[in-house]
Amino acid sequence: MTSNYTYTPQIWPPVLMGILMTTLSVYCWRRRSVPGAIPLMVASLLATVWQLAP
């Protein structure tokens, strides 16, 4: 079985941003009673996927 992926240092900036966005979404979820927290959580969760895709 062959892998479709190989290691490249270019993955690190997206991975770090993905971790940051996930942390932000967890932070928003813990403060979900604040106005706008839930849309921001959704945006940061989607941004996590957006960051990890390239």
Number of residues that bind other proteins (CB under 8 A): 22
- 16 or 36: whose CB is closer to other proteins? 36
Distances (CA, A) of 4 to 7, 31, 47, 52: 11, 40, 24, 16
Instruction: Compute the least distance from the CB of residue 14 to other proteins, in Å.
Output: 8
Instruction: Compute the least distance from the CB of residue 12 to other proteins, in Å.
Output: 10
Q: In the window 17-46, what residues touch other proteins (CB under 8 A)?
A: 35-36, 39-40, 42-43, 46
